[in-house]
């Protein structure tokens, strides 16, 4: 399995503490470095640095050392022992030197869309925002690419580490050479080989049902009744359904 470990990750912790994990990792010669923020309801925000690590096909071991302010606030050294369940998700156990412990799950959601359909992306993101707060999901679209970044590499890394792929489907989407050549192949490959979940949101009339590579996946809404042809209330109901189906994927893990 080709692990996509370097990059940004967001997940959740359970156990004696419940909260969110925000991490950014780099890798050099098989060693992991990076920073991790853990926010829980008991101890608040803790900032950690990866001070020791080990990664092989069977497991990942990380030692997270708190910075001075975090240590003074009562946080301890955290040891994580986890495993990849796919290229897009790792799960495992965590234990702190102050006696707290539990489990963790880390993964991502990737949104593929045509820039001509940005208005639908923005409305979908509104409905997905509670998942970022409540489930600590990292929901990625290309607006997260920073100026000066190698944008193609950023997109490739995001796709490799996504558990769910949401496709905002329209004629613009199907006409995009970039999407067809750079985003869909790795997403569909992840679905076939890694069990990634593909969700198609049909926003306007298109040839979706005759596109073999996409029509094999169940659309969130009826392709014959795209969002653009529905009243506002029905549009909102379908966008809520997208958020519920994404949440169900992660609640079932």
Q: Which domains does the chain have, with CATH numbers?
A: 7-106 (2.40.128.120), 108-251 (3.40.50.10140)
As a whole-number percent, the residues of the chain with pLDDT over 70 amount to 80
**Which residues, 6 or more positions from 7, have their beta carbon under 8 angstroms from its beta carbon?**
24, 25, 157, 158, 161
Half-sphere exposure of 57 (CA within 13 A, CB side): 2
Say what the pLDDT of residue 110 is.
83
In order along its 253 residues, the chain shows pLDDT tens digits of: 455 567 667 667 778 877 777 788 888 877 888 998 887 767 777 899 999 998 877 788 999 999 999 998 888 999 999 887 666 567 889 999 999 888 877 667 888 899 999 999 999 999 998 887 666 567 777 776 555 555 566 666 666 667 788 999 999 999 999 898 888 888 887 777 766 788 999 999 999 999 988 888 879 999 999 999 999 999 999 999 999 988 887 665 5
Distance CA(54)–CA(32), nearest Å, equals 7
Distance CA(183)–CA(187), nearest Å, equals 6
Say what the pLDDT of residue 8 is.
65
* pLDDT tens for each residue of 8-39: 676 677 788 777 777 888 888 778 889 988 87
From 136, 95, 187, 122, select the one nearest 9 (Cα to Cα): 136
Contact 88, 163 (CB under 8 A): yes
Residues linked to residue 92 through DSSP beta bridges, in sequence order: 82, 104
Distance CA(131)–CA(246), nearest Å, equals 9
């Amino acid at each position: 399995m080709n692990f996509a470990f370097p990059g940004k990750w967001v997940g959740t912790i359970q156990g004696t503490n419940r909260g969110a994990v925000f991490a950014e990792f780099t890798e050099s010669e098989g060693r992991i470095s990076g920073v991790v923020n853990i926010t829980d309801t008991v101890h608040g925000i803790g900032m950690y640095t990866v001070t020791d690590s080990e990664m092989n096909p069977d497991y990942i071991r990380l030692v997270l050392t708190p910075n001075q302010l975090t240590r003074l606030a009562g946080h301890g050294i955290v040891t994580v022992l986890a495993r990849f369940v796919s290229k897009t998700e790792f799960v495992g156990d965590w234990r702190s030197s102050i006696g707290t412990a539990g489990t963790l799950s880390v993964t991502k959601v990737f949104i593929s869309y045509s820039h001509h359909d940005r208005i639908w992306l923005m409305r979908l993101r509104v409905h997905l925002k509670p998942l970022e707060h409540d489930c600590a999901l990292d929901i990625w679209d290309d607006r997260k690419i920073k100026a000066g970044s190698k944008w193609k590499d950023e997109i490739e890394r995001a796709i490799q580490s996504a558990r769910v792929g949401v496709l905002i489907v329209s004629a613009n989407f199907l006409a995009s050479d970039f999407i067809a050549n750079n985003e869909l192949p790795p997403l569909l490959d992840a679905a076939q080989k890694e069990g990634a979940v593909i969700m198609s949101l049909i926003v306007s009339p298109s040839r979706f049902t005759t596109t073999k590579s996409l029509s094999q996946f169940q659309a969130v809404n009826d392709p014959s009744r795209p969002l653009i042809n529905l009243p506002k209330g029905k549009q909102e109901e379908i966008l809520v359904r997208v958020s519920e189906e994404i949440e169900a994927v992660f609640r079932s893990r």
